[in-house]
Each structure stands twice: as C-alpha cells, then as structure tokens.
Amino acid sequence: MPGKVRTLIVDDSAYMRVVLKDMLESDAEIEVVGAAKDGLEAVADVGSLKPDVVLLDIQMPRMDGIATLQRIMKENPTRVIMLSAMDKKDDQLPIKALEMGAVDFISKPSGPVSIDIVNFTERITDIVKTCASARVEALQRARDAHPHKLTAMKKQATKNFRSIVIAASTGGPRALETIFAALPSDLPAPIFIVQHIPEDFSVSFARRLDSAKGPRVVLAIDGQRVERGVAYLAPGGRHLKLKWKGAMTLQTQLDDGAPVNFVKPSADILFESAADCLPNQTLAVVLTGMGSDGMEGARAIKKSGGKVIVQDEQSSIVFGMPRAVIDEGIADEVLPLEEIPRAIIEFLED
C-alpha cells in the first residue's frame, strides 16, 4: 500500500487513545487520522475518514466493538484489528470477531486501561502495517456461508497412512473454519495445523474448529498418539513435530525451540517433520498469511514425494505465504479456498 497506513483508533479510554496514537505514530509508516471514543463515533469516522486500518476496542459504551465491527463491515468494509482485554472473560470473542470480518486481534496485556502497553509498540505497529495489505474483498467473502459438507470418504481410501499438514497466518482462522466445515468427520487421515495465533487463544480456537463438525480437532500435546480422523492444532508458543515410536505408532512432539521465520509455532518445522516421517504420503496446504512460513517445509514435502497446494490470491486475505510457495515453483495446484476441501479428499482417495 503506497504512502502511510492511515489508521483510526477506537477506544473509550482517553488515556488509551493518546497512548495508542503516540505508539503508532512512532513508526514513520503509520499516520493516525482519527480517534473515536465509542462505536457510534467509529462508524461515522470510518465513513468520513476512509482509514486503511481501524484499531478497535471491544468493551465500549453505547455500542460495543462486536456490534461496531458488524456495522463497519456492512456499511463501509474496512480492515479492522480488534484490540481488547475482554478475551480473558470470554475467550470466544476474538474468534467471533474474526468470523465477522476482523483481520486480526491483539490482546491488551493488562486490562482495559493498560499502562504497560507501550512495551508492545513494535508488535502492534507491525500488525497494523501487515493488516494494511489485507484484501477487503476477501474479508467480505470470508463472512459468507460455509460450503456444503462433502460426502463421506470411500472405505478403500484408508489403505495408506496419509496425512494433511496445513499452514495459516493472517486470515487463517476463518479459512480453516471454512475447510473444516466442508470436510467429512470420518476423514481417514490425521491433519496437523500450524496457525500463527497467541497462546492465550489456542484452546478456544481448537474448540471453535471442532465445532465445525468436520474431523475432530484437539490441541496437540507432547507424546500424543496420532489417530486418523483427528486434527492436531499446534499450541501458540510451541513448535509441533511428528515422530515415530517404534515402527507402528506416530506421535506428536512439542518443541520449545527458537522461533523460525519469526514465528512459533512454525509451519516449516511441522512440514519438514512430516516429510521425514511420512515421505510420499503427505499433502501440504498453505493458506492465507503474511511472510513465507511454510515455503521451505513445502519444498521438503515436495522433495519427499508429497503434494503441495496453496490458496489463490483472490480468496486469500493476505497472499504472502501462498505467493512464496508459488514463486519458488513448489505448488502443484493453486486453488480458491472453497475448492481446497475437495482437493484434500481427492488426495486421500488417489
């Protein structure tokens, strides 16, 4: 996006509005174009100021952040980042916000009026700049109904122990929910997921994916026996790997090593592990997200005889991760989000 990222701050605390403005404008690439004290002011300001990004609190008088987000996405669709301490009371609120069209969410570190939020300046400014490249059209489409549930798998598809590994970042929660809502619950293969998400939201996000009524979704734990038809979500702050225990038992392994590609968990770590444990039997799926995490891992899966598909640009909220795979010539297929569940089934039935 050319020029500075024009940002609107929405928070009912006058103190937080001043602090957030100072934080954001400490970055030369960001300009604060307005500061609203509640949702009603925010809706009006979005219409008149046309910001690139809205930094939106959840807990506000007159109109809360969820209702404000709903109005903004209906009247003037815009890139919205939720900034809130409310997730500690209702851990489904951030996931609900993403479902309604928010690009990302940031948890205030110590309550609604956070005196130490300045310690997170770099992280918040990075998220704002990242979200400025999100495709508004894709955000609007992400709010549409899920595709129909696909039919159950053919029984003969279970003869090989195949696996699916998925990487996602910005825009990923909604994309993953779309995929799981379409997949049958009796999928004859395990799924392993790396979604760049804060540790605080890992449990609630696993529950949210599980509620899509596709394959069962659990938060991965160390030393867990891998089962067909179960999806294992890497917890925030831990890398997820696979390992064999003996010749017959595949297990999950959590790793507390350093971030890779500036993220933890890293899709590269998971993908490379899957390539080692299940050569020629793994499908890698790279979804919407900023950066290049998953690219080197996809290369390893392709080299081991597996297959790689990526989400296309039109349906991606941020096309960074899929583009990195495409630019390296690794992708076997580039597909709209709604076609990815069927591609997963076709891989398992092949």
The residues carrying an active-site annotation are: 169, 196, 293
Closest by Cα among 65, 11, 58 to 34: 11
For helices 65-75 and 39-49, angle between their N-to-C axes, nearest 10 degrees: 30
**Strand stretches in 154-267, DSSP E:** 163-168, 191-195, 216-219, 230-233, 239-245, 249-255
Q: CA gyration radius for the chain?
A: 20
> Using an 8 Å Cβ cutoff, are 167 and 295 in contact?
no
Closest by Cα among 266, 303, 267, 263 to 285: 267
Q: Which residues pair with 56 in a beta bridge?
A: 10, 82
**Distances 163 to 271, 278, 314 between C-alpha atoms, Å:** 11, 8, 27
Distance CA 69, CA 81 (A): 10
